[in-house]
């Protein structure tokens, strides 16, 4: 894959980056070098290599997926100005 001057200017426009003509010419070479390196990675044989999320083998920490009510109803309504049996009391607004 090769990047030309028109592509560099289009990407800069899409990214809302002001690029001068000299910078665009320089970036063309730099982007082509980067894409050349990425294309080299396609030559690496990765068959039989499992994907990994970390360089050190570790198991994800998981909590038990259990539904609970939290047993914190009294703590939740503790700072409310008016409560009744762990429910908030609010003024009536509809007649």
Answer whether 28's CB lies under 8 Å from 4's CB.
Answer: yes
Please state whether the predicted TM-score (pTM) of the whole model is above 0.75.
no
pLDDT digits (tens, 9 = 90+) for 14-61: 999 999 999 999 999 999 999 999 999 889 998 988 888 788 888 888
Q: Is 47 within a domain?
A: no
Q: Is 28 within a domain?
A: yes
Structural domain count, the chain: 1
Q: Is 83 within a domain?
A: no
- The token pair at 89 is 């009391």
CATH number of residue 29's parent domain = 1.10.20
Q: Is 35 within a domain?
A: yes
The answer on pLDDT for 90 being more than 80 is yes
Domain that holds residue 28: 5-41
Q: Is 70 within a domain?
A: no
**Can you tell me the distance from the alpha carbon of 74 to that of 71, in angstroms, rounded to the nearest whole number?**
8
């Amino acid at each position: 894959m090769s990047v030309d001057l028109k592509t560099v200017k289009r990407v800069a426009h899409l990214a809302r980056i002001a690029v001068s003509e000299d910078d665009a010419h320089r970036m063309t070479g730099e982007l082509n070098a980067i894409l050349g390196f990425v294309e080299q990675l396609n030559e690496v044989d990765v068959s039989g290599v499992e994907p990994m999320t970390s360089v050190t083998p570790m198991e994800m920490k998981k909590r038990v997926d259990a539904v609970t009510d939290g047993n914190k109803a009294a703590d939740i309504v503790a700072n409310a100005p008016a409560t009744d049996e762990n429910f908030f009391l609010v003024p009536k607004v509809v007649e």
